[in-house]
């Protein structure tokens, strides 16, 4: 009987760990639009429904027309952004991986592998 009790405790513990580790499946149709960084109000990211986008910081005197271009994909909570090289023919592509923690029609939050979080509000 004691063995059964130990087995049940271990089974319940493993079940709890598995359910907590599951990724959330975010609706990628909520991502397209212009997002403003909540802390640094001059930083913006625009996600376009065709899987492209751009980011810029108006504090650096960069407009949306001059923004850093990127490609993006979203799989459950995993956001992959590949920043594209500018002004040369080298085809430089710099991938960044993020984990989305919130995505609604008005709020967007993600963090990177180092624990750095970003929070945005939709402005368009």
Contact 82, 93 (CB under 8 A): yes
Fold of the domain built from segment(s) 24-122: Lipocalin (2.40.128)
- The pLDDT assigned to 19 comes to 43
- The pLDDT assigned to 92 comes to 87
- The pLDDT assigned to 79 comes to 98
Specify the pTM.
Answer: 0.78
What is the distance between the alpha carbons of residues 122 and 102, in angstroms, rounded to a whole number? 13
Tokens, residue 116: 């750095």
- The pLDDT assigned to 121 comes to 98
Contact 81, 98 (CB under 8 A): yes
- Residue-by-residue pLDDT tens, the chain, 124 positions: 555 444 444 444 444 444 454 558 999 999 999 999 999 999 999 999 999 999 999 999 999 999 999 999 999 999 999 999 866 556 789 999 999 999 999 999 999 999 999 999 999 9
Contact 86, 36 (CB under 8 A): no
- The pLDDT assigned to 85 comes to 84
Contact 68, 83 (CB under 8 A): yes
| Torsion over CA: 74, 122, 117, 19 (sign) | negative
Q: Name the residue ranges covered by the structural domains of the chain.
A: 24-122
């Amino acid at each position: 009987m004691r063995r059964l009790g130990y087995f049940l405790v271990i089974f319940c513990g493993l079940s709890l760990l598995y359910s907590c580790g599951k990724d959330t499946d975010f609706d990628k149709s909520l991502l397209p639009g212009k997002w403003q960084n909540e802390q640094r109000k001059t930083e913006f990211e625009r996600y376009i429904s065709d899987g492209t986008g751009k980011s810029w910081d108006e504090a650096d005197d960069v407009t949306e027309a001059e923004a850093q271009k990127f490609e993006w994909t979203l799989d459950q909570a995993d956001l992959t952004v590949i920043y594209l090289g500018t002004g040369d023919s080298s085809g430089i592509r710099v991938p960044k991986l993020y984990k989305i923690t919130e995505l609604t029609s008005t709020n967007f939050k993600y963090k990177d592998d180092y624990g750095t979080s970003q929070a945005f509000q939709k402005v368009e």
